[in-house]
Amino acid sequence: MIPDKLLGDPAKKLWIVMSCPKAADKTGPMSSSTGQTFISYLQNAGYSRSDVHFEYIVNEIPHKGGMEAFKARGDNFMDRQVEGLKERIRQHKVLKL
C-alpha cells in the first residue's frame, strides 16, 4: 500500500488514477523507471509532481497476476474498490460551472 502522504494533495486539479501500484513503486506513485518517464512527460507539459494527486483503484501491490488477481477475489471486491474511488473523488472534486 502506498501511504496517503505520498499520493499528493487531493485538492489538486490534476488527478491521475491508476489501477494499482506496481512492485517497483514501493517508494511512492510513479517511482518506477516507467513512472519516472511519465513524470518527465508531465513536467514537459508544464506540471510538477506537486501539482498532481495520484489515486489507485486498488491501493495494494498485487502478488501475481495484476488486476486479474484482484478481480478473482470475488465478493464484489472490484466493485467496492471502484465505488470507494468514486467516493474519494466526490469528497474532493466539486464541479463549479
| Mean pLDDT of the region 34-49 | 89
Do residues 25 and 31 touch, judged by C-beta distance below 8 A? yes
Residue keyed to cell 517497483? 24
Cell of 17: 488514477
Cα separation, 70 vs 55, whole angstroms: 17
pLDDT tens per residue, range 47-92 = 988 888 999 999 988 877 778 888 888 889 999 999 999 998 888 8
The residue among 82 and 10 whose pLDDT is bigger is 82
Cα separation, 33 vs 19, whole angstroms: 17
Q: What phi and psi values does residue 32 have, to the nearest 5 degrees?
A: -70, 170
Which domains are delineated in the chain? 4-92 (3.40.470.10)
